């Protein structure tokens, strides 16, 4: 697809007017998030890059926009019946928070392995939480059952025109915040976010290119575009749980086909690296879904030239702190700033002190240390000293290894 605006479909789709109306409805309640230059990433991305910080919304993601716009459209009778939704976390939190503000009972169905932070926040905002199935698709099926059997109103996470229009208010803000934008990079899960943004931008400035990024483990939009029709994936297990969707929306897919210039995917290591880059260099905490645009840019998967002015939508920051810890550790290992060395020395008094003195003289810091005798593949006269070191980088690790080897110690990287 070229991404140019085509003639309207026979079935009416959300319009620019719907997005503009949504902005008036949610104005003053939803944060008009900043668009900030990513100056510390200039050596990683070829063009001027700006971050649209949707992680600064009250519930930590862009979902506040669409959820509020949908809830405000409920009649008094529908509000009294309450709503039900299915979500892996961000949409659930947004519906729960704004539902509580508006006095609307909220029931949420979540996949069984939803990150704890998203579960606890959803409950804290006042929603009744149920767990069903291993995937979002299974949770949606359960939510539809509750809609039928308990007469609740279903608030879909992405396949709803008012939700799409609410998310599209980001696009209006982007054009106002930077008049020279030439490209916008957006995560894709079910497609509500990119559809709304694309409507808002392409209907006003068709020359701005819209790029979508999916997790390679859940490429529902890309698979559907390739097939020419909506495709359901067999699995969608990814670090970017916010976009782990097996099937793009019936309402969103035609909009993606009409407006989105290109779609690419990124793998799990690329997503983890992007989270680490944003945290360390930009001091911004992003969840996996929020980091996929940067992952695509750093991996040079998009046709961005040095003269392009690019905005990436950092869609959310709701990530479990334990996962952040693992990602940071992985990033430090990749950069060489964390290293594990196994050093073989004669098992005699004083050799441990000699090894640690050499490491210290080389300027590295010992974080952990252990001895291996019975389980190490070494002589019975030797001992293997396993050290976790903090270093300045890969070259520094090589310096430490050379210093140890020059003094007769056998060293191997772990």
Q: Phi, psi at residue 121, to the nearest 5°? A: -65, -40
Closest CA to 154 of 107, 119, 97: 107
Contact 269, 228 (CB under 8 A): no
Those residues whose C-beta lies under 8 Å from the C-beta of residue 198, and which sit 6 or more positions away, are: 171, 186, 210, 255, 256, 258, 259, 260
> Rounded to whole angstroms, how far apart are CA atoms 51 and 149?
43
How many degrees, rounded to 5, is the angle at CA 250 between CA 22 and CA 204? 40
Check if 63 is active-site.
yes
285: β partners: none
Task: Say if CB 159 and CB 249 are below 8 A apart.
Answer: yes
What crossing angle do the helices spanning 192-202 and 16-26 adopt, rounded to 10°? 110
For residues 62 and 243, is the Cβ–Cβ distance under 8 A? no
| Cβ(295)–Cβ(266) below 8 Å | yes
Cα 115 off chain centre by: 13
In terms of DSSP H, where are the helices of 243-366? Answer: 252-259, 268-282, 288-298, 321-335, 351-361
- Choice among 61, 87, 265, 315 that is catalytic: 315
Q: How far apart are CA 329 and CA 338, in angstroms?
A: 8
Residues 6+ apart with CB under 8 A from 136: 86, 87, 88, 111, 157, 236, 244, 245, 246
Q: Provide the 8-state DSSP code for 314.
A: E
Both tokens of residue 309? 């002015």
The catalytically annotated residue of 52, 61, 63, 224 is 63
Strand 338-346's sheet: what is its strand order? 365-372, 382-390, 338-346, 410-413
- Please state, in angstroms and as integers, the Cα–Cα distance from residue 59 to each residue in 102, 125, 317, following that order: 15, 9, 9
Place of tokens 């409507």: 199
Active-site annotation, residues: 63, 315
């Amino acid at each position: 697809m070229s991404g140019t605006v085509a003639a309207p479909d026979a079935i009416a789709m959300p319009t620019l007017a719907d997005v503009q109306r949504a902005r008036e409805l949610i104005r003053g309640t939803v944060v008009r998030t900043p668009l900030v230059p990513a100056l510390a990433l200039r050596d990683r991305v070829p063009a001027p890059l700006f971050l649209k910080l949707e992680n600064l919304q009250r519930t930590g993601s862009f979902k506040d926009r669409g959820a509020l716009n949908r809830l405000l459209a409920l009649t008094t009778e529908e509000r009294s019946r309450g709503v039900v939704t299915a979500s892996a976390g961000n949409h659930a939190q947004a519906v729960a928070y704004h539902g509580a503000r508006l006095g609307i009972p909220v029931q949420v169905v979540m996949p069984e392995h939803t990150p704890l932070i998203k579960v606890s926040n959803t409950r804290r905002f006042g929603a009744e939480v149920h767990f069903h199935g291993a995937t979002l698709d299974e949770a949606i099926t359960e939510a539809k059952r509750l809609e039928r059997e308990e007469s609740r109103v279903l608030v879909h996470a992405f396949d709803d025109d008012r939700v799409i229009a609410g998310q599209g208010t980001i696009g209006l803000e982007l054009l106002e915040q930077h008049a020279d934008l030439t490209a916008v990079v957006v995560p894709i899960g079910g497609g509500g976010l990119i559809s709304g943004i694309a409507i808002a931008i392409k209907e006003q400035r068709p020359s701005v290119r819209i790029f979508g990024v999916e997790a390679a483990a859940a490429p529902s939009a890309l698979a559907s575009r390739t097939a020419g029709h909506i495709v359901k994936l067999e699995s969608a297990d990814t670090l970017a749980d916010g976009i782990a969707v097996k099937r793009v929306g019936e309402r969103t897919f035609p909009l993606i086909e009409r407006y989105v210039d290109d779609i690419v995917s990124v793998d799990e290591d690329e997503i983890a690296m992007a989270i680490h880059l944003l945290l360390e260099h930009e001091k911004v905490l992003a969840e996996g879904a929020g980091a996929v645009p940067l992952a695509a840019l750093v991996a040079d998967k998009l046709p961005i030239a040095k003269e392009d002015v690019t905005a990436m939508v950092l869609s959310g920051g709701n990530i479990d702190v334990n996962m952040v810890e693992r990602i940071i550790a992985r990033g430090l290992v990749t950069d060489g700033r964390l290293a594990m060395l196994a050093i073989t020395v004669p098992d005699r008094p004083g050799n441990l002190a000699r090894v640690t003195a050499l490491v210290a003289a080389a300027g590295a810091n010992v974080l952990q240390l252990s001895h291996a005798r019975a389980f190490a593949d070494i002589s019975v006269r030797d001992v293997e000293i396993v050290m976790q070191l903090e270093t300045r980088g890969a070259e520094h690790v090589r310096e430490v290894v050379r210093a140890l080897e020059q003094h007769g110690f056998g060293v191997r990287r772990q």
